[in-house]
Amino acid sequence: MIDYAATKGAIVSFTRSLALQLTPKGIRVNAVSPGAVYTPIQADTREAPQMVNWGSTSKLGRPAQPSEVASSFIFLASTESALFRK
């Protein structure tokens, strides 16, 4: 998971840098980094006992499902999200 975590951090930094360069040109750049989301990679990289409480410290008290995160991607790709710039 170290490689996954490092890559996730790099993507966030890359997105911020890209946004600084492209926002003045009217190009929006976004990233979604939701935290604990239940995907096959989670179950494949953890033993079953570790999965029992995985994500329980999130604000939801459980890991999110991919379908719960999908609407964020749709919103950020839409013109309705033009207000949300960093």
Report the mean per-residue pLDDT for the chain: 87
Backbone φ and ψ of 9, nearest 5°: -65, -40
Question: What confidence tens digit (pLDDT) does each residue in 17-59 have?
Answer: 999 999 899 888 988 888 889 888 888 888 888 888 888 888 8
**Is the model's pLDDT at 85 over the cut of 70?**
no
Q: What is the pTM of this model?
A: 0.64
DSSP helix/strand/coil, 64: strand
Residue boundaries of the structural domains of the chain: 2-81
List active site positions.
4
Q: Is 27 left (phi over 0), alpha (psi -120 to 50) or beta?
A: beta
